[in-house]
Amino acid sequence: MQAEIVCVGSELLLGDIADSNTQYLARRLSVLGIDLHYSTTVGDNQPRLMDTLRRAIGRSDLVLTTGGLGPTDDDVTRESIAEVFGEVPVVDPQLAAQLRSFFALRRLEMTENNLKQASLIPSARSLRNVRGTAPGWWVQKEGRIVVAMPGPPGELHNMWETEVEPILERTGSLIASRTLKMFNISESRVDELLKPLTSGRNPTVAVYAKQDGIHVRITAKSTDRESARATIRPVEEQARSLLGDSVWGADDEVQEQVTAAALIAAGLTLAVAESSTGGQLTSMLTRVKDAPRFLRGALVVPDIPRTAPDIARLARDAAKQFDADIGLATGATATPDSDPPMVDVHIAIVGPSSPAEVLAAHRSRPFRVRLLSSYYALHELRRFLARR
């Protein structure tokens, strides 16, 4: 099945709000094994919307629309779908009663223009919206399906997950994915290592550069999710063998969570001193659910040039001040005569019975120092723990 998304709303084209609905629906479609080929944004203009819908219906099996289901004159999605299919919308008594009940329960006045939200065409059935006044439409005609959903993400997500997705799950194959995550290795090197796997059709293997490193997504399509996962397993094993210890996590895992788990498993506590990261590293660590089990405290000190002994001293001071097993410190110095300007970031780690290690972690542009340096600090701490 080939799908297309049509997002309706002049506010999207004006940049007043960001389109998060396309990203959400694209992800949900991929899990269902439905191929998304096109995505379009169109304003609240009925002739342009009708032209967009005709094109979408002509080339896609499934068309998903978001927005334009409100009660005002510029909400024209229902009217446009009706015109394209040559049908006349009529107020449905049951939907109208539900709408009146919605307003009465909240002690709000329901104006006459709200009744357009209770309309249906012969080829449509309504989709329940428990979070708003606008029911959706499921329209099926001439081998095509058009699903009209509201624009507010909270309403759309609930309608998709409770009304739309359960129907689509029965229409064909499903997709399962497994994402492996790496750090301190280049995208080109990962691609080179995985050459034996990236030409496969099912599962497919794709490489992506992300803020927290390189991700490898293994995706399989099958009639059910367990079969798809079974197809992934041997490919994941091959990928892990080829990538070695550069793999630090998978799927929804984040670096701070994995590093925290290693500290807790080792029964060790941590203190942090940040010079180049401005509290970013501490912020990441405190988001971990079990942070009180391992994080004793943190120092955020002025971001000034520091030598390796300075950074080592910061790590030792943090561990001593907060009575922690491990001290972790960050520091940076500008790179002389570099164009564009670059910064050398260093990580210092001191353990219970070891001298401070100062590692030249990476070179970065100044505007990226805080986040990237935090990731490098977590990476080096994991390596330090693995060697114990």
Quick check: 269 pLDDT over 90? yes
pLDDT of residue 332: 82
Instruction: Please tell me the distance from the alpha carbon of residue 40 to that of residue 47, in angstroms, as a whole number.
Output: 15
Could you give the 3-state DSSP secondary structure of residue 127? strand
Q: Which two tokens stand for residue 334?
A: 């500008």
| Chain position carrying tokens 């990441």 | 284
Residue 359 has φ and ψ, to the nearest 5°, of -115, 130
pLDDT of residue 302: 81
pLDDT of residue 169: 82
Residue 13 shares a structural domain with residue 152: yes
Quick check: 39 pLDDT over 90? yes
Average pLDDT on 185-211 reads: 91
Q: What percent of the chain has pLDDT over 90?
A: 63
pLDDT of residue 260: 97
Q: CA distances (Å), 197 to each of 193, 200, 203, 234, 357, in order?
A: 9, 6, 9, 11, 38
Give the residue from 115, 138, 168 where a domain finishes: 168
Element containing residue 139 per DSSP (H, E): strand 136-141
pLDDT of residue 112: 82
Average pLDDT on 228-248 reads: 94
Pairing outcome for strands 357-364 and 124-127 = unpaired
Pairing outcome for strands 90-91 and 62-66 = unpaired
Average pLDDT on 263-291 reads: 94
pLDDT of residue 61: 94
Residues in the chain: 388
Residue 295 shares a structural domain with residue 345: yes
Quick check: 360 pLDDT over 70? no
Residue 156 shares a structural domain with residue 216: no
Residue 141 shares a structural domain with residue 241: no
Residue 261 shares a structural domain with residue 297: yes
pLDDT bin (cut points 50, 70, 90) of residue 5 is very high
Tell me: the pLDDT tens digits for 140-158?
998 999 999 999 999 999 9
Give the residue from 146, 168, 190 where a domain finishes: 168
- Domain CATH code at residue 240: 3.30.70.2860
Pairing outcome for strands 270-274 and 326-334 = parallel
Domain tally, the chain: 3
Residue 213 shares a structural domain with residue 285: no
Residue 75 shares a structural domain with residue 156: yes
Quick check: 296 pLDDT over 90? yes
SS (H, E, C) 186-205: CHHHHHHHCHHHHCCCCCEE
Instruction: Please tell me the distance from the alpha carbon of residue 321 to that of residue 347, in angstroms, as a whole number.
Output: 19
Give the residue from 234, 250, 266 where a domain finishes: 250
pTM passes above 0.85: no
Residue 222 shares a structural domain with residue 272: no
pLDDT of residue 310: 87
Average pLDDT on 329-340 reads: 79
Mean pLDDT for all residues in the chain: 90
| Chain position carrying tokens 């940049």 | 15
Average pLDDT on 181-202 reads: 91
Average pLDDT on 46-75 reads: 95
Average pLDDT on 228-246 reads: 94
Average pLDDT on 85-103 reads: 90
Could you give the 3-state DSSP secondary structure of residue 92? coil
Burial of 186 (0-12, 13-18, 19+ CB in 10 A): exposed
Q: Which residues pair with 287 in a beta bridge?
A: none
Quick check: 189 pLDDT over 70? yes
Instruction: List the single range of 104-108, 226-230, 246-250, 352-356 with lowest mean pLDDT.
Output: 352-356
Average pLDDT on 188-192 reads: 94
Instruction: Please tell me the distance from the alpha carbon of residue 6 to that of residue 22, in angstroms, as a whole number.
Output: 9
Pairing outcome for strands 90-91 and 119-120 = antiparallel
Neighbours of 260 (CB within 10 A): 24
Residue 283 has φ and ψ, to the nearest 5°, of -60, -45
Residue 229 shares a structural domain with residue 278: no
Element containing residue 83 per DSSP (H, E): helix 77-85
Residue 118 shares a structural domain with residue 6: yes
Quick check: 301 pLDDT over 70? yes
Cβ–Cβ under 8 Å, residues 3 and 146: no
pLDDT of residue 361: 61
Q: Which residue range(s) make up the domain with 140?
A: 2-168
pLDDT of residue 365: 73
